[in-house]
């Protein structure tokens, strides 16, 4: 059975997409069968793994709104598979409202794939709208990337409340996978202070692995590659490989 993990934080630019791509690729390199679902209309995960959006026949919008089978929209990228998105997904927040099973449509779509993958990672938009709710309803766990910057904790309460609400109704089994500290800048005291603060508050729910700020990680997407393929010896590649080990220790 695939472990379904939603990467979420309604704050933008915290490393959701970078972690989706690079955790996914590292899990795949370790022999896991991985599907990346791009649930953000911006489609950064889609282009980040080298998929040309203009060539796509189907996407996650067609799956969620028009009932196309997920299987028929999946594209094979380098090391993992992706259920890609295009900008038309931005219309779905409004359109989903009037559709039957509006919070369950991603869960229903992914159900037939459960035996084909070990991990399904869902990259989410920077909002807590119906797309993210669909992800939380479909997921076993939520992984929260938190940027080690000032204001890091702002908005986390709202995110945790949303998870709790989903747990009380739509998906009682939803758990918190953990908090991942990202973009850690070793040169600043602030990064250290923020990570100490996050660990003090969330204790063992914070992953041991910390993702450093490194320019290679920000360069890889423009080449349509995960860091592991783009620059296998880089710090970013090594750290995401470590993080994949931590996630496999947690979920197998």
Point out which residues bind ligand ADP (CB under 6 A): 12-18, 44, 126, 182-183, 211, 213-214, 217-218, 221
Among the residues of 13-168, which ranges form H helices?
16-29, 44-48, 60-66, 92-96, 105-110, 130-138, 156-168
CB of 212 to ligand ADP, least distance (A): 6
CB of 21 to ligand ADP, least distance (A): 8
Phi, psi of 199 (to 5 degrees): -65, -35
Q: Which of 240, 214, 223 is nearest to 29 (CA)?
A: 240
Q: How far apart are CA 141 and CA 3, in angstroms?
A: 8
Q: Which tokens is 89 given? A: 């997904």
Report if residue 147 touches Mg ion, rule: CB under 5 A. no
Report if residue 17 touches Mg ion, rule: CB under 5 A. yes
Report if residue 11 touches Mg ion, rule: CB under 5 A. no
Kindly identify the residues of this chain, within the stretch 18-57, that bind Mg ion according to CB under 5 A: 44
Kindly identify the residues of this chain, within the stretch 74-113, that bind Mg ion according to CB under 5 A: none
Q: Which lies closer to Mg ion via its Cβ, residue 44 or residue 214?
A: 44
Q: How far apart are CA 243 and CA 155, in angstroms?
A: 24
Q: Which lies closer to ligand ADP via its Cβ, residue 137 or residue 182?
A: 182
Q: How far apart are CA 180 and CA 117, in angstroms?
A: 23
- Say if residues 146 and 180 touch (Cβ distance below 8 Å): yes
Phi, psi of 231 (to 5 degrees): -150, 80
Q: Which lies closer to ligand ADP via its Cβ, residue 15 or residue 63?
A: 15
CB of 44 to Mg ion, least distance (A): 5
CB of 204 to Mg ion, least distance (A): 27
Q: Which lies closer to Mg ion via its Cβ, residue 118 or residue 143?
A: 143
Q: Which lies closer to ligand ADP via its Cβ, residue 14 or residue 113?
A: 14
CB of 16 to Mg ion, least distance (A): 5
Q: How far apart are CA 76 and CA 80, in angstroms?
A: 6
CB of 126 to ligand ADP, least distance (A): 6
Q: Which tokens is 3 given? A: 């472990």
Q: Which residue has the tokens 């923020």?
A: 194
Binding site for Mg ion (CB under 5 A): 16-17, 44
């Amino acid at each position: 059975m695939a472990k379904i993990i939603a990467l979420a934080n309604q704050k933008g630019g915290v490393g959701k997409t970078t972690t989706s791509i690079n955790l996914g690729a590292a899990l795949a390199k370790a022999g896991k069968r991985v599907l990346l679902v791009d649930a953000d209309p911006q489609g950064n995960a889609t282009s980040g793994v080298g998929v040309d959006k203009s060539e796509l026949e189907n996407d996650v919008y067609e799956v969620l709104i028009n009932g196309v089978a997920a299987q028929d929209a999946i594209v094979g990228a380098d090391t993992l598979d992706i259920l890609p998105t295009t900008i038309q997904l931005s219309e779905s927040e409004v359109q989903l409202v009037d559709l039957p099973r509006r919070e369950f449509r991603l869960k229903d779509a992914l159900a037939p794939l459960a035996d084909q993958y070990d991990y399904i990672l869902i990259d989410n938009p920077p909002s807590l709208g119906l797309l993210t709710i669909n992800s939380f309803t479909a997921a076993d766990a939520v992984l929260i990337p938190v940027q080690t910057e000032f204001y890091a904790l702002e908005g986390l309460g709202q995110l945790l409340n949303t998870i709790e609400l989903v747990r009380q109704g739509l998906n009682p089994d939803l758990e918190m996978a953990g908090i991942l500290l990202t973009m850690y800048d070793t040169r600043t005291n602030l990064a250290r202070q923020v990570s100490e603060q996050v660990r003090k508050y969330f204790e063992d729910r914070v992953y041991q692995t910390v993702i450093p700020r490194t320019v290679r990680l920000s360069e890889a997407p423009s080449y349509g590659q995960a860091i592991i393929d783009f620059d296998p010896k880089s710090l970013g590649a090594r750290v995401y490989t470590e993080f994949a080990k931590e996630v496999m220790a947690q979920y197998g």
